[in-house]
């Protein structure tokens, strides 16, 4: 057995699990979903029945029956005297977009590779002899690639030298390295909720206690809460996605950025700005908000970027832009995790960056098709859901007309459509009223997925306990 989850942590992760009757089946489904999402790893010890019953305010019999259901479905194993542990479950083959002939995987919001990429790889292979003549241990990144990244920042209004750039194996690796380098156990880290879950995991793994600041599709960032959180908790870092936030698709305006930048400066917080999705504009920019010429540009922030969404996730090229002294610290801290970014991929990225305008134009077309097809299908088949208009990014954060996101995800899964429930993106186990639907998949898949969602939604609603659909007080 590798790890255990406490009753409190499990109850927080379960969020709004009461999606149907009987309660034990809903609880078993909630735990299944956490296993499927990898939020509970295989071989994790579950809390004792009595403890979980107390944490959830349930009878012990309900928890015991839920565990029996999980045993019957092969999700857990219970051994006399040593409790229940989760079992490895048959996973989808990693790296495949769809699971079976008709399955549709919308758990990852990643567009197919930029069509020009294969050609660039072939061209790069012609340089193989000179590439292998290099030492190959690039903990900082090649000078050629760092120079191009720096030039792109300068063109966007953030003057940058190659010494202020470090190349990483994707933005994820960048966020993890920053978290490990900047945070000490017990430090506070401010983060949006909903957020990009693997960033939250990276901060937690560094020992941070997360302080969530709400972002909504309508109002954007809750600035009052943000200012209070900066002032009260003095977070060491704040991790934010100000352009096409994943999953809400919202962008900060100049005024919002100014408030955040001021509050962070007052509390001495390092702002980590993740711009992985920042270049994915679909509609033309509005007003004065364009490029990076805004409040963050004038402040010292740490920026994270990536070619993962713009070019291809499999390229595994990301970067950090920070002042040269922090870059030096990060380079020094890197070797225990990896000894650099592969030369070949950096050479490919160097060629691709020179063609970025072409790449981004293709992305805008692809994402516009997906967004419009998804919005049309949802408006036609699920008119009671609130669908935001997003101007860029990779996904829609759709508001359901009942807090049954987990139940919906389980029901859709049974029909071969794989999605992540709203709680997956929460810092605090809420967001059961929301579903993230990426529009990066082919249009035909998006339409079929919406057909399935529309088919199962009435059943999911019908099975829900009445007080979940109509909470007390909702009718006044
Ligand atoms: C906001 C954000 N940051 C980081 C990542 C990870 O990027 P990469 O594939 O470059 O590691 C993603 C990918 O989904 C993302 O959406």
The CB of 313 under 6 Å from ligand 1? The reply is yes
Residues carrying CATH 3.40.640.10, the chain = 117-354
Query: Residue 118: pLDDT above 90?
Result: yes
The CB of 308 under 6 Å from ligand 1? The reply is yes
Query: Residue 186: pLDDT above 50?
Result: yes
Rounded to the nearest 5°, which phi and psi values hold at 436? Answer: -90, 125
What pLDDT, in 10s, does the model give residues 356-387? 999 999 999 999 999 999 999 999 999 999 99
C-alpha 272 to ligand 1 mean position (Å): 14
Q: What is the arithmetic mean of pLDDT over 308-322?
A: 97
Query: Residue 80: pLDDT above 90?
Result: no
Q: Is 238 helix (H, G, I), strand (E, B) or coil?
A: strand
The CB of 246 under 6 Å from ligand 1? The reply is yes
In whole angstroms, give the CA distance from residue 370 to residue 376: 10
The CB of 306 under 6 Å from ligand 1? The reply is yes
Closest residue CA from atom 9 of ligand 1: 308
Residues carrying CATH 3.90.1150.10, the chain = 104-109+364-469
Q: Confidence class of residue 90 from pLDDT cuts 50, 70 and 90?
A: low
The CB of 197 under 6 Å from ligand 1? The reply is no
The CB of 407 under 6 Å from ligand 1? The reply is no
> In this structure, how many other beta carbons lie within 10 angstroms of the beta carbon of residue 257?
24
What pLDDT, in 10s, does the model give residues 160-182? 999 999 999 999 999 999 999 99
What pLDDT, in 10s, does the model give residues 39-70? 898 999 999 999 999 999 999 999 999 999 99
Pick the CATH number of 3-86 from 3.40.920.10, 1.10.10.10, 1.20.120.140, 3.40.50.300: 1.10.10.10
In whole angstroms, give the CA distance from residue 63 to residue 83: 13
Nearest to 236 by CA among 291, 299, 186: 186
- In this structure, CATH architecture of domain 117-354: 3-Layer(aba) Sandwich (3.40)
Q: Which residues contact 376 (CB under 8 A, 6 or more apart)?
A: none
- The whole-model pTM stands at 0.91
The CB of 426 under 6 Å from ligand 1? The reply is no
Q: Who wins on pLDDT, 430 or 123? A: 123
Closest residue CA from atom 7 of ligand 1: 171
In whole angstroms, give the CA distance from residue 256 to residue 273: 14
Lowest mean pLDDT among 200-209, 384-393, 412-421, 426-435: 426-435
In whole angstroms, give the CA distance from residue 388 to residue 436: 11
Q: What is the arithmetic mean of pLDDT over 262-279?
A: 96
Mean of all residue pLDDT scores within the chain: 92
Radius of gyration of the chain (CA): 23
Q: What is the arithmetic mean of pLDDT over 341-361?
A: 97
* Burial class for 237, CB neighbours closer than 10 Å (0-12, 13-18, 19+): buried
The CB of 420 under 6 Å from ligand 1? The reply is no
**Atom of ligand 1 minimally distant from the CA of 313:** 9
Lowest mean pLDDT among 19-23, 371-375, 439-443, 456-460: 19-23
- CATH for 104-109+364-469 is 3.90.1150.10
> In this structure, how many other beta carbons lie within 10 angstroms of the beta carbon of residue 285?
12
C-alpha 178 to ligand 1 mean position (Å): 14
The pLDDT of residue 296: 76
Q: Which residues contact 138 (CB under 8 A, 6 or more apart)?
A: 167, 340, 341, 343, 346
**Atom of ligand 1 minimally distant from the CA of 318:** 10
H helix or E strand, kind and range, residue 78: strand 76-79
Closest residue CA from atom 12 of ligand 1: 276
Residues carrying CATH 1.10.10.10, the chain = 3-86
Q: What is the percentage of the chain residues whose pLDDT exceeds 70?
A: 93
Q: Which residues contact 361 (CB under 8 A, 6 or more apart)?
A: none
């Amino acid at each position: 057995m590798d790890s255990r989850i406490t009753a409190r942590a499990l109850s927080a992760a379960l969020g709004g699990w009461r999606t149907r009757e009987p309660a034990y089946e809903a609880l078993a489904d909630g735990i299944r979903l956490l296993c499927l999402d990898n939020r509970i790893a295989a071989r994790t010890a579950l809390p004792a029945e009595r403890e979980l019953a107390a944490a959830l305010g349930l009878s012990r019999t309900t928890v015991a029956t839920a565990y029996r259901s999980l045993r019957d479905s092969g999700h857990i194993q219970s051994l006399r005297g040593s409790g229940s542990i989760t079992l490895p479950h048959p996973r989808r083959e990693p790296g495949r977009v769809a699971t079976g002939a008709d399955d549709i995987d919308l758990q990852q919001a990643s567009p197919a590779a930029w069509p020009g990429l294969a050609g660039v790889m072939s061209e790069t292979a012609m340089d193989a002899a000179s590439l292998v003549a290099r030492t190959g241990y690039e903990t900082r990144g090649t000078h050629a690639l760092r120079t191009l990244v720096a030039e792109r920042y300068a063109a966007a209004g953030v003057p940058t030298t190659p010494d202020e750039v470090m190349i990483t194996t994707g933005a994820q690796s960048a966020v993890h390295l920053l978290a490990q380098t900047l945070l000490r156990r017990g430090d506070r880290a401010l983060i949006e909720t909903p957020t990009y879950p693997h960033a939250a995991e990276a901060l937690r793994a560094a020992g941070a206690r997360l302080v969530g600041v709400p972002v909504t599709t309508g109002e954007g960032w809750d600035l009052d809460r943000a200012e209070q959180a900066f002032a009260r908790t003095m977070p060491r870092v704040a991790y934010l996605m100000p352009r096409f936030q994943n999953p809400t698709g919202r962008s900060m305006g100049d005024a919002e950025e100014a408030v955040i930048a001021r509050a962070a400066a007052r509390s001495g917080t390092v702002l980590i700005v993740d711009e992985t999705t920042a270049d994915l504009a679909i509609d033309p920019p509005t007003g004065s908000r364009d490029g990076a010429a805004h409040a963050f540009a004038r402040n010292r922030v740490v920026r994270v970027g990536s070619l993962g969404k713009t070019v291809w996730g499999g390229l595994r090229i990301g970067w950090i832009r920070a002042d040269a002294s922090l870059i030096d610290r990060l380079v020094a801290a890197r070797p225990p995790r990896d000894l650099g970014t592969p030369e070949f991929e950096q050479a490919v990225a160097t060629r691709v960056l020179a063609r970025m305008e072409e790449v981004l134009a293709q992305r805008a077309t692809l994402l516009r098709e997906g967004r419009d097809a998804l919005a049309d299908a949802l408006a036609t088949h699920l008119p009671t859901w609130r669908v935001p208009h997003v101007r860029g990014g990779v996904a829609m954060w759709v508001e359901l007309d009942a807090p049954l996101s987990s139940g919906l995800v389980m029901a859709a899964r049974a029909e071969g459509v794989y999605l992540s429930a709203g709680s997956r993106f929460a810092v605090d186990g809420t967001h059961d009223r929301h579903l993230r639907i990426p529009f990066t998949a082919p249009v035909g898949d998006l339409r079929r997925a919406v057909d399935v969602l529309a088919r199962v939604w009435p059943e999911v609603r019908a099975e829900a306990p009445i007080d979940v659909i109509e909470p007390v007080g909702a009718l006044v």
